[in-house]
A and B are shown apart, each in its own frame.
Chain A
């Protein structure tokens, strides 16, 4: 069944795509692919690990993590705030709904359960490795949190929705752990500022290494191992915040409809 509106939408989208293609063929995106990066990208690449410009570098080996948590740290802080807000909004939709802790569900077959038990060890190990090496190799807090969420979804689907609360990981505890992660992000961002108040020197928020007029810095090297200053702490905190934030939402998503319907119709 093709209506008039369908035809109208299809024609206007076709015009949209064709005009975009025409602009690109005129060189709207520049040469594809370009030979050089832009100046700002050159500066970011140059300052990622640069011992000759000590007051501007971040002493991490990975540019993406350095940009996320050092050069543009405030951006990421606000994005974490958006993430926090979206999860708070989801929890608000489920106010008053009780997650029962009874062991009613049975889950899938024993074979699937055994295989999933193996991944309960393997996937968090990979996630922790990705978070801890976020400043050295590709990875970081966001990636590790997403990887760890996979094991939570596996636990909910393969075992049952009563499995995680039955083993001590209830919604309230996940909320607490997520708040600890967010607190870690906040404390790391103002850590040097707090110390500078005690010492009476100058410091900035989201300061990682010493600047020209701010002498404090997070440790960048411990016995030959590159730490990347505050990036390690940021990655760990964000890992906890993201993993447990998503855990709350997936626990809510798996609540049975009868429980919720009772609350919704009561209002």
Chain B
């Protein structure tokens, strides 16, 4: 592998770290609860992207393949080719359920924000502190 490839891989990882930092800033420092919810979705998406990135691979003398067996019947040659070039399926399986559960949790937080607005008449945490 060339040096440029290693450097670009670090650029990708670093930009995901920066996204993590931006999302944390949104959660800690922005006053609106809706903005905090947007920041939480960015944070969880970035964590999921990390998990998938860690499961990626670049096999020797071949191209990486998605974890799906491409042909039937499955012979020993097909299976060997598959195991030597497919990417890691485990992070993908975990992230897949995490995204759907994350949507359900996001919906629940959205309901809580609406309820908050009904009770306090604002979604700005600074104003609520003054009340």
Contact A264 B118 (CB under 8 A): yes
**How would you classify the secondary structure of chain B's contact residues: helix, strand, loop or mixed?**
helix
Chain A interface size range: 35 or more
B35 to chain A, nearest CB (A): 14
B120 lies within 8 A of chain A by Cβ = no
- Which of these, B10, B13, B79, B110, contacts A46 with CB under 8 Å? B79
B110–A253 touching, CB < 8 Å: yes
- Per-position binary interface string of chain B over residues 74-105, scored 1 when its CB falls under 8 Å from any chain A CB and 0 otherwise: 10100100110011111011101111110111
Q: How far is the CA of A34 from the CA of B58 in the complex (A)?
A: 6
A50 close to B (CB within 8 Å): yes
Instruction: Give A85's nearest chain B residue, CB to CB.
Output: B104
Minimum Cβ distance to chain A for residue B52 (Å): 11
Query: Is the Cβ of A86 less than 8 Å from the Cβ of B56?
Result: no
A residues near B (Cβ < 8 Å) are 5-6, 9-10, 13-14, 16-17, 20-21, 24-25, 29, 32-38, 40-42, 44-46, 48-52, 61-64, 67-68, 72, 75-76, 79, 82-83, 86-87, 89-90, 93-94, 137-138, 140, 142-143, 145-146, 226, 242, 245-246, 249, 252-253, 257, 260-261, 264
Does chain A have a CB within 8 A of B20?
A: yes
Instruction: Judge whether B105 and A86 touch: CB under 8 Å.
Output: yes
CB pair A24–B13 under 8 Å, yes or no, is yes
- Asked whether any CB of chain A lies closer than 8 Å to the CB of B29, the reply is yes
- Which A residues are in CB contact (< 8 Å) with B79? 46, 49-50
